[in-house]
Structure 1
Amino acid sequence: MTLEQFLDRFDGPERSVVIVNRTDPDPVLNMLVDTFGDDAVRVIDGRVTPDSGDRRITDGAGPAGVTGGDPSPGLTARELATTGVVDGDGEAAPSIDVDVLRHHDDVPFDGGDLDEVENLVLLMEDDEVVAGSTLAELGDAVLFVNSDLYVTGSRSLSDVDLPSVISGLNDATFTLRGYPESNRQKLLLITISRFIERVAWMAGDGTLRSSFQRLSRIDDEVGTRKVYDRVTDTGVDTHLYGVPDSLPADLDAVIHAGSDPDFTDSWFVVFRPPEGPHPARSEPESDLERGIEGGVGLLAIETEPRVWRGLWTFDADRISRLNRYIERNL
């Protein structure tokens, strides 16, 4: 079995990224499509129907105009939007019902003062809201940055965090395209990888397994070398995998070199806590705490040139199986 076959065993839910309260959403939609892809994670326009008298979201984010029937078990997108605001031309304009979000503490949301929210990005599973982030928060993480921040080390480990919309993609399979097909989709993989490396660094113990396709990347990319110097300095048992075109110098890590597809085509970063992966015993206040306590992992496979299919997860069973496969086969 290969890592690609291993990935095939992991099924994930289909989720959608929806923009709410956008009067001219096309530029943001294009940016989200270029970031999240158009396969398992679909990007759809979540503008409110401007002439409706009830609350509704259009274009696939739920059955528009439904006002009765059995309530959804969770928060739906149409519950968040209203057309009760009148714009400068005297016409009804989309608006977010802030009180609805305030009363759903079970829906992760980031972005500061909800009263100032103008552009909200929702993560949907069917008609249910999984998480929400303001456009500003999502932009600071992936939309308005480039990979040079990580390659050069301009964004340090302590600055890496995941907005709720990206955090909510855990266990959802995705397909991403690299340059030149996309200028930014690969950044999502880099961001999640750096987050997992931060988890290991903060934990200061346990095991971190990371693949690089070519081991020369560790020294070629200043930011990557800084990260792994910091991680290994804490005492984390660090294992690095890739084609041995050039081995990293003076790094306290175990090097695993090879040239079969598991080395050349995989991208994984897996943190295993000292006692092994497990569900968080407490209710963690952040993804960082959740990862430190129970473990977190990313696996992506380059299925064709510059096309990556993958999944990232906090699930203890998946992390255990992935860590065991890598430990035994690479």
Structure 2
Amino acid sequence: MSLADFLAEVARRRKTLTVFAPEQYERLGDHFETRNVTVEHETLPDDGSGGFVVVSENGEFVGSVGGDAVRELVAPPTTFGTAPSEATQALLNLLADTTFVSFDKRQMLATSREIEDRAFRCGRGTLRTGFQSLSALRAQERIYELLANKEGLDVHVYGRPDWSPEIPGVTVHTDETPEIGAFWFVVFDGGRASKENETGRTSELGTTDEQACALLAEEGEPHTFSGFWTYDPELVGELDDYLHETYG
């Protein structure tokens, strides 16, 4: 098993996002042009509701949310620690487990921040972040100081040893393997586990299932990434196990 295997498995899936609204949402096509998502639009009379969005996979209904979620998704909040609206989070959940292509560094940082925010708000569990090279952590040092100050949160960072970060509470893993240098990942297990279930995974009052999330991406062209994000607790658990067992 490898990180490339995780990416290849998710790449086999494709979802369709159909917007039912009086007018097409500006910038929506641009937002999803780099994702393995088909965007369609169906015109509805204007009843003042703003419309709604339906997500399907292979022709089967996955879920739906109000149109406000789409507007917020293409213009997300930037303040660290600010939770997305329930509708936007629901849309993110529905669109998880689809691959994206040609994300630049700015898009990668925005997606990573959503997972880091979730770990910060939860305040417990394990967060594993791969920076490719540890020097990339310099720009995020303050964020990781805040994360490490959460007493119940176990923070691990991974990367090639081109810098030696010293952040109290952060466990640093140095590795020269090609995999660590090629992949950017952020994996949050959802919360400190306390009870083992039938599958061998653990949970605490449903926290793991509700909060688990991860981002995995491989760099192709310089500063251009292809990958996926997921809210599937089983897939997150497998990624977390792989990183722990392979790199510590």
8 Å CA contact 1:211–1:266 kept in 2: the answer is yes
Change (3 A) 1:138 1:278: farther
Q: Deviation at 1:326?
A: 0.9
8 Å CA contact 2:129–2:156 kept in 1: the answer is yes
* Mapped partners of 2:154, 2:62: distance in 1: 38
- The amino acid of 1:42's aligned partner reads T
* Mapped partners of 1:318, 1:127: distance in 2: 21
User: What is the 5 A alignment of 1:34-45?
Assistant: 34-37=30-33, 40-44=36-40
Aligned match of 2:102: 177
Q: Deviation at 1:328?
A: 2.3
8 Å CA contact 1:17–1:43 kept in 2: the answer is yes
Q: Deviation at 1:240?
A: 0.4
8 Å CA contact 2:93–2:230 kept in 1: the answer is no
SS of 2:225's equivalent?
A: strand
Are 2:53 and 1:128 aligned? Answer: no
Are 2:80 and 1:156 aligned? Answer: yes
Q: Deviation at 1:129?
A: 5.4
Aligned match of 1:248: 165
* Mapped partners of 2:16, 2:94: distance in 1: 11
RMSD of aligned Cα (Å): 3.2
Q: Deviation at 1:324?
A: 1.7
8 Å CA contact 2:15–2:38 kept in 1: the answer is yes
Query: For 2:144, which of 220, 228, 232 is the aligned residue?
Result: 228
Aligned match of 2:131: 212
* Mapped partners of 1:133, 1:176: distance in 2: 26
TM score, norm. by length of structure 1:
0.60
8 Å CA contact 2:83–2:117 kept in 1: the answer is no
* Mapped partners of 2:161, 2:106: distance in 1: 23
* Mapped partners of 2:226, 2:165: distance in 1: 27
SS of 1:176's equivalent?
A: strand
Q: Deviation at 1:278?
A: 4.8
SS of 1:309's equivalent?
A: strand
- Give the fraction of aligned pairs with identical amino acids, expressed as a percent: 24
* Mapped partners of 2:61, 2:233: distance in 1: 25
Change (3 A) 1:32 1:243: farther
SS of 1:321's equivalent?
A: helix
- The amino acid of 1:140's aligned partner reads E
* Mapped partners of 1:32, 1:279: distance in 2: 36
Give the paired residue count: 236
* Mapped partners of 2:178, 2:222: distance in 1: 13
SS of 2:128's equivalent?
A: strand
Change (3 A) 1:22 1:215: farther
Change (3 A) 1:15 1:281: farther
Q: Deviation at 1:169?
A: 1.4
* Mapped partners of 1:204, 1:137: distance in 2: 25
SS of 2:95's equivalent?
A: coil
- The amino acid of 1:258's aligned partner reads D
8 Å CA contact 1:17–1:121 kept in 2: the answer is yes
Q: Which has more radius of gyration?
A: 1
* Mapped partners of 1:199, 1:186: distance in 2: 19
User: What is the 5 A alignment of 1:57-206?
Assistant: 94-95=44-45, 116-125=48-57, 126=59, 128=61, 130-134=63-67, 136-141=68-73, 143-144=74-75, 149=78, 155-160=79-84, 162-170=88-96, 172-179=97-104, 187=107, 189-206=108-125
Question: 5+ residue gaps in structure 1?
Answer: 49-93, 97-114, 150-154, 180-184
* Mapped partners of 1:127, 1:159: distance in 2: 29
Q: Deviation at 1:238?
A: 0.7
Change (3 A) 1:233 1:39: closer
Q: Which has the higher strand share?
A: 2
Q: Deviation at 1:156?
A: 1.7
Deviation by residue 1:213-257 (Cα, 9 ceiling, x = unmatched): 23223222xxx3332112110121110012233233334211112
* Mapped partners of 1:138, 1:250: distance in 2: 37
Aligned match of 1:79: none
Question: 5+ residue gaps in structure 2?
Answer: none
SS of 1:116's equivalent?
A: coil
